[in-house]
């Protein structure tokens, strides 16, 4: 099983690049998605509270295999965590890594005092939806939108902790 490590210098650039490359190839997203990921990470690096927010990079040997972040949801208040930047590299998909990463993130959120976790994704991310549902998340909102140069269906998932 891959090792989950706290975000280290150089990891943020990797997270930005891998999200940009994967989502351009798989979803046709334009560079505005890369900008969003960079903004999320810049905010995290500048302002996160280590007692309540954390980012992990999954490592297999000397290779980064994925990322996942738990942050306070600024729109929902101090009891709601937000799952962000969840990515698993193609070579690690189907290995149980995504489940391990999600369980680690949920455990951290509970121990940090959050009572609920929310996330935003798109309907086209079918595999992600399956893992969220298996882990007790409910789909609570869907909205058609134009984003990242594409027509998308935004989804909000949430679960109690």
103 pLDDT band, cuts 50/70/90, is very high
pLDDT digits (tens, 9 = 90+) for 8-40: 999 999 999 999 999 999 999 999 999 999 999
Is residue 56 a contact partner of residue 104, using CB atoms and an 8 Å limit?
yes
Sheet strands side by side (includes 63-72): 3-6, 54-60, 63-72, 80-88, 116-122, 150-160, 138-147
Task: Find the largest Cα–Cα distance for the chain.
Answer: 40
Helix (H) or strand (E) holding 1: none
The tokens describing 20, both together, are 């940009």
Spatial distance between the Cα atoms of 23 and 51, rounded to a whole number of angstroms: 31
Question: Which pLDDT belongs to residue 125?
Answer: 86
Question: Which pLDDT belongs to residue 74?
Answer: 86
């Amino acid at each position: 099983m891959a090792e989950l490590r706290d975000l280290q210098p150089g990891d943020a650039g990797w997270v930005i690049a891998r999200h940009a490359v994967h989502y351009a190839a798989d979803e046709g997203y334009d560079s505005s998605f890369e900008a969003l990921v960079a903004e999320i990470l810049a905010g995290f690096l500048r302002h996160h509270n280590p007692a309540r927010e954390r980012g992990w990079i999954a490592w297999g040997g000397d290779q980064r295999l994925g990322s996942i972040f738990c942050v306070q949801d600024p729109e929902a208040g101090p009891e709601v965590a937000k799952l962000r930047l969840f990515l698993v590299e193609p070579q690690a998909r189907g290995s149980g890594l995504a489940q391990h990463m999600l369980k680690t993130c949920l455990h951290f959120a509970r121990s940090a005092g959050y009572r609920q976790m929310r996330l935003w994704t798109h309907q086209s991310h079918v595999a992600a939806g399956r893992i969220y549902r298996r882990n007790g998340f409910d789909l609570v909102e869907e909205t058609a939108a134009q984003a990242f140069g594409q027509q998308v269906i935004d989804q909000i998932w949430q679960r109690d902790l």
